[in-house]
Amino acid sequence: MKIILASGSPRRRELLQQVGLEFSVMSADIDESVYEAETPQAYIQRMVAQKAQAALAILNKDKACLADNKQGSTVLLLTADTIGILPDGKTILIKPEDEAHALNMWQQMSASTHQVCTAVQATLLILQSAQDTNNTNKDVLFTSVWSQSLLESTEVTFVTLSEQEMQRYWQTGEPADKAGGYAIQGGAAHWVERIKGSYTNVVGLPLAQTLALIEQAEARAATLS
């Protein structure tokens, strides 16, 4: 069964490569605006569902991809989204807009515990003939036949951060494209006093839980063959 990781995150790609998983990568861009009164957990669960829909639409417009698969073939689509949440349980940690924004986030995380949440969705697709209202076979397209999602949360406690230390980290350039402005596997490793939960979840993908989800999808795909 082919696996497609619909994510541009190099960290998710590296984690899956570490366990020897064979997969291809694609990006599915969507509007990532947060709805009014939407909880952080509901937000990322909505994101992975919408990314799966967007990725499916892209696949069904890719003539080469459709031609490369036989009718009845199954493909597993993986989508994921990771966010940090400040100790208030409501404020979502996003990629810093500039140094002042990063320092403001870090000051709120200093000497306190924040959450890192990741939603992952596995969507099983099968290539089959679409039908019109007259029940006449039309184009062969991918159709979703099964999906399952998970939500993983990890508590991360930071040491007390000095302004000089925060400024020095910002100047490395590493924080600019990270939600919350830090990489636990990188230059901010020594900021972490302790974690409670999955380490790989903080990196960007709860690996053990994701592999279990893939096993569920493989078992479901076996019933379709």
Domain 2-222, CATH: 3.90.950.10
For 7, residues 6+ apart whose C-beta sits below 8 A from its C-beta are: 13, 25, 27, 51, 78, 79, 80
Rounded to whole angstroms, the Cα distance separating 185 from 147 reads 31
Catalytic residue among 31, 62, 81, 98: 81
Where do the structural domains in the chain lie, given as residue ranges?
Answer: 2-222
Q: Are the CB atoms for 123 and 91 separated by under 8 Å? A: no
Q: Is the dihedral of CA 172, 174, 179, 184 positive or negative?
A: negative
Rounded to two decimals, what is the model's pTM?
0.91
Band of residue 177 on the pLDDT scale cut at 50, 70, 90: confident
Catalytic residue check, 29: no
Please count the other Cβ atoms lying within 10 Å of the Cβ belonging to residue 196. Answer: 11
pLDDT at residue 134 tops 60: no
Band of residue 131 on the pLDDT scale cut at 50, 70, 90: low
Band of residue 130 on the pLDDT scale cut at 50, 70, 90: low
